[in-house]
Structure 1
């Protein structure tokens, strides 16, 4: 049981490191809070919450994997290396794909509800 608790400690230590050291991770956390607040205010459905949760998870996980890849590449290739650069670029590209998926999903879920509010208020 002690090993289990210790492993959770390491996981939270990793999340803390990502939060402290990675601006993009903090930006994604702010976007997470905004999406949750917007979902609550707009009373989105359970299915829509599932999509939002999937997007949040996908973006945060890919951002952490990007940080892992960049750190590992820097460790094994501290000097400039074209292939190392390609690896880091592809890792960042994975985050962009996840973030675009999240953005499009957010637009599909939130935009109609926001437009209804604007039209109703007018």
Structure 2
């Protein structure tokens, strides 16, 4: 992709996002949770720091889900047969997404607690 115009490179990125939306149920699930977080932000109206923290957390979870899906796809292309070590690698990739998702839940819980304290 080196030397290609920015618009073309952005087109590749958007195509990747569309593919993830079409093929990956987990990506769609994470987008649903992200939408819920945005609704919570609108309803709770927390300070701008919470908006930034939630936004970055959402981006991390979605980015890791994309990396997980892409690497699993590459692994399946390179070695379509089942192999115990490949299973371990895929489990580790999924674990990375899980860690980020749990952290996102922690951020959401802290935001809600902060909003309740601020209101009370």
TM-score (norm 1): 0.89
- 1:15-52 per-position Cα deviation (integer Å, ceiling 9, x unaligned): 00011111110011111111111101111111111110
- The equivalent position to 1:34 in structure 2, one of 36, 43, 64, is 36
- 1:90-112 per-position Cα deviation (integer Å, ceiling 9, x unaligned): 00000000000000110011145
TM-score (norm 2): 0.90
Structure 2: stretches of 5+ with no match in the other structure: none
Residues 3-42 of structure 1: pairs in structure 2 closer than 5 A? 3-42=5-44
- State the 4+ residue runs in structure 1 displaced beyond 6 angstroms: none
Deviation of 1:5 (Å): 1.1
Aligned pairs, how many? 118
Structure 1: stretches of 5+ with no match in the other structure: none
C-alpha RMSD of matched pairs (Å) = 1.9
Partner Cα separation in structure 2 for residue 83 and residue 115 of structure 1 = 48
